[in-house]
Amino acid sequence: MRDLQSHRWMWIKASLFVVIGLMSSALVLLQLPEWRVLLLLSLAIWAFCRAYYFAFYVIEKYIDPSFRFSGLGSVLRYLINRR
C-alpha cells in the first residue's frame, strides 16, 4: 500500500476520524445518558490519545530516534523484537 501524500486527502481522512469519533460518542451517550458514562468515555478517549502520542512521538523522539514507525503494528513489532 502506498503512503498517503496528498495534503487534501490527509485533511479529509482526519476529518472523517473526527466525525466517526463524534458520532460514536453521541450514540453511546444516547444509549446511556449518564454523567458517569460521559466521564468514562472522555477518560478512555483521552487515555488512548496519550498512548498514541507516546507510541509515535515519545518513542521516536526520546527512546529510539533511529527508528521510524509506520503504524501501530510496527510499534508492536519494535516492542517485541526489543526484548
Q: What is the pLDDT of residues 31-78, one digit of tens each?
A: 999 999 999 999 999 999 998 888 888 888 888 888 777 778 888 888
For the whole prediction, is pTM greater than 0.75?
Answer: no
Q: Strand, helix or coil at 4?
A: coil
Q: What is the pLDDT of residues 13-34, one digit of tens each?
A: 999 999 999 999 999 999 999 9
Residue ranges covered by each domain of the chain: 1-33, 46-83
Alpha carbon separation from 14 to 9, 26, 43, 53, 66 (Å, rounded): 8, 18, 21, 15, 27
Burial of residue 69 (CB within 10 Å: 0-12, 13-18, 19+) is: middle
